[in-house]
A and B are shown apart, each in its own frame.
Chain A
Amino acid sequence: MTLAVLVLAAALAAPASAAVNRCAACHGGIDEKHAALVKGFERDIHREKGLTCAACHGGDPTKDDAAEAMDPEKGFVGAPSKADMPRFCGKCHSDPAAMRRSNPSLPVDQELKYYTSRHGKLLKAGDGRAASCADCHPPHGMRPPKDPTSSVYAKNIPRTCGTCHARQSSDYRAGVHGVALLEKGDTAAPVCNTCHGNHGATPPAAASIAMVCGSCHANNMEFFKASPMAKAWEKKGFHACATCHGNHAIAKPTPELLSGSHAVCLKCHAPASPQLAAAAAMKGTLLSVETAYASAEAAIKDAEVRGMDMEDARDALGQARMAMYQARTVVHSFQPAKVQEVAGGGADLARKAEGEARAAVLDFRNRRIGLGLATFVLTFLAGALYLRVKDQE
């Protein structure tokens, strides 16, 4: 019986001794830098997955003696050099068996992809400035990408990449995508790695720009690829979307891009050319639907402020907005007639919505006039009855 109790106690104690991690006891007291590393690791994703210091650095974490604990014969590797970092992390991240245990959803080709990236190639060529794993994923406190405190959380990526690519990061912040992500908080907005990839990060080539942008702006890409412009640009080696819209500092597209002093078409076409005339026609069409839309929206708001039900007008306005967006997309076909066809329908819907809103405001005024008349009649009758009462008295 006593023996059985002892065996059971030993069995229960066994897992506890396996989790012993004496590294922190010494390293936490070396200096402030090491203390911060030890403290940072307390909330590291690797620790949450059950890994200890020894899982990356090797050695024997159960020993109090430094020489024994950091004995190279026991697998101690210490801190890896920058050049060795991808292989160091790849010990687990490139090992399907290891990743299946801790995070089966994570791909195991990250190291492989890294070496195809510009960063990886430069590092391999001996450029010590090239970013390696720890430059984007600071160790000892690493958090998963969905954690808002992570260096690779969508809203933090421009800052992380901007550590080296300051100009591009600054341009991105000023562009539509940066504004959507950082100012409007839309975490679905594209960020650096959406276009460049992450572990295989590379600047998109001229031919692949349309594919990169087209992964979100699919219709724009389709219209552009089917247009006569696509072949001409291919010949000239233009970056499809970036030639007109820029790359990192992508400005909010307006009809002004088509014609006038800010027209991007002027980069290639003469001001008096038929191409510029077509662009001016498309600009006019877009402006006309935008004006009709804005006017209808103002009229609807005016009616809604007065408490009038504008559900139907809102529906029509929603359809007009859809047509307006479609017309902007169809511009990439560079065919004014097609743009007119789509935008014209939208403008008609907007005018219909505006008509309903104006009628509602008129109805609102008529209600008050009606109330005034009714009040007059009722007060007159009540007054007449009052006089009758006085007469009786």
Chain B
Amino acid sequence: MSALKDAALSWLEERLPLRSAMEFASHKRVPVHRGDVFYYAGGVCMFLFLLQVATGILLLMYYRVGSDASYESVRYISAKVPFGWLMRSVHSWGANLMVLFIFIHMFSVYFMKAFRKPRELTWLTGCGLLGLAMALGFSGYLLPWNELAFFATKVGTDILGQVPLVGHWLLRLVRGGDEVTGATLSRFFGLHVAVLPALTALGIGAHLLLVQVQGMAHEHEARRTMPFFPDFLVRDVALWLLVLNLVGVLAVFFPWEVGRKADALGSAPAGIKPEWYFLAQYQFLKLLPGRVGMVPGELLGIVALNGVGVWWLLTPFWDAAVPERRRDAVVRWAGLGAITLLTVMTVWGHLS
């Protein structure tokens, strides 16, 4: 058996730099310290992405796109396809958990100041991946073509129409017309199953490559390190199993609803709200008055939200510009402020 394994390895070695890769991997180490538990959040994000890809492919085998087919096919998946209900619920819960873990990962990186030179590009690619995850969530939300999906997409895309000069053009580009129709569904489907996953896969590749190239932050400051293979990976996998367990429990006990089929002529269901990860922005826009001076309130809100987004994206750069003695405090308070604001607005949006 061992001889066979050696033969296979040497066959591969002649074709791939396997031993050097294994050699490189064996030297990879992870710092051990108080906050090292947060290192696992990134791995969980990747695991959940893979879970989304796997369940997404299974759903694709039965899902049909179109205003006269999407709802029916999702209903069919949930009611008739063996384990279809499980795949759909795991996909929906997995998406939500993935966004949650991306937030946890992002804030842990932020508070550990792991975005600082030379890791600015890792931070930027990470922010890009958060944007992609939210875009995947938004585009996937429409695909069941139920009432909630329809009106959430209508409200969400309406916001685009507020952008000055190009707003109407953007709105038509995203919707495939002036209204949310089957054309919107088709393009959201295309984005959700092809464009966005491909970009996310590339983004994850770039993100991981940057982590490899630069090593872990604080590696030299930590008193102790542990090898990535197998010590850290074993812990990673154990956590993945627990997360998979959590997704399973959520899927079985809180299966995702099929809802009622979208009706463009019907009225929006009472208390309609976006997904939790858009609630803070939604609540902020709701609080704004119709007009602030000469400017429409909604437009002002969109500009402000984009401003905050850009400010967050450029964290490594403004951080570098802050005098060194105050840098840590500024980062800490700005981060705590961001978390508090996000939490308060999300909870407020949920309760109101």
Q: A residues within 8 Å of B by Cβ?
A: 307-309, 311-312, 367-368, 370-371, 374-375, 378-379, 381-382, 385-386, 388-389, 392
Contact = CB atoms under 8 A, between A and B. Distances in A.
Nearest to B233: A385
Given A371-B252, A381-B241, 4 more contacts: A309-B75, A309-B78, A374-B245, A392-B230
Contacts of A379: 241-242, 245
Nearest to A307: B255
Contact of B242 (A311, A378, A389): A378
B249 A371 contact: yes
Interface in B233-289: 234-235, 237-239, 241-242, 244-245, 248-249, 252, 255, 257-258
Contacts of A374: 245, 248
B234 A389 contact: yes
A386 B79 CA distance: 38
Contacts of A378: 241-242, 244-245, 248
A385 B234 contact: yes
A309 B89 CA distance: 14
A157 to B, nearest CB: 34
Nearest to A380: B241
Interface string B210-252: 0000000000000000000011001101110110110011001
A391 to B, nearest CB: 10
Contact of A311 (B75, B241, B245): B75
Chain A contact surface mostly: helix
A389 B239 CA distance: 12
A308 B257 CA distance: 10
Nearest to A385: B238
A389 B238 CA distance: 10
A382 B244 CA distance: 11
A243 to B, nearest CB: 47
A247 B231 CA distance: 88
Contacts of B75: 309, 311
Nearest to A367: B252
Contacts of A312: 79
Contacts of A368: 252
A379 B239 CA distance: 10
Contact of A386 (B78, B231, B238, B249): B238
B260 to A, nearest CB: 11
A372 to B, nearest CB: 9
Contacts of B86: 367
B285 to A, nearest CB: 33
A348 B244 CA distance: 43
A376 B231 CA distance: 24
Contacts of B79: 308-309, 311-312
B252 A385 contact: no
A16 to B, nearest CB: 44
Contacts of A370: 252
Given A378-B244, A378-B245, A382-B241, A389 B252 contact: no
Interface string B75-92: 100110000011000000
A388 B241 CA distance: 15
A371 B83 CA distance: 12
Nearest to B236: A385
14 contacts: A309-B258, A367-B85, A367-B252, A368-B252, A371-B248, A374-B245, A378-B244, A379-B241, A379-B242, A379-B245, A382-B242, A382-B245, A389-B235, A392-B231
A367 B251 CA distance: 10
Contacts of A392: 230-231, 234
A368 B252 CA distance: 7
B235 A385 contact: yes
A308 B75 CA distance: 11
A312 B78 CA distance: 13
A325 B258 CA distance: 31
A388 B234 contact: yes
B78 A389 contact: no
Contacts of A375: 245, 248-249
A315 to B, nearest CB: 12
Contact of A385 (B85, B241, B248, B257): B241
A367 B231 CA distance: 35
Contact of B238 (A309, A311, A382): A382
A381 B240 CA distance: 11
Contacts of A307: 255, 257
Interface string B57-93: 0000000000000000001001100000110000000
Contacts of A367: 85-86, 252
Contacts of B238: 381-382, 385-386, 389
A312 B249 CA distance: 27
B352 to A, nearest CB: 27
B241 A389 contact: no
Nearest to A392: B231
Contacts of B248: 371, 374-375, 378
A353 to B, nearest CB: 14
Which 10 pairs across A and B sit closest by C-beta, in order of nearness?
A: A309-B79, A385-B238, A382-B241, A371-B252, A378-B245, A382-B238, A378-B241, A385-B234, A381-B241, A382-B242
A205 to B, nearest CB: 49
A305 B276 CA distance: 26
B244 A389 contact: no
Contacts of B252: 367-368, 370-371
A309 B238 CA distance: 35
A374 B245 CA distance: 8
B107 to A, nearest CB: 25
A371 B254 CA distance: 13
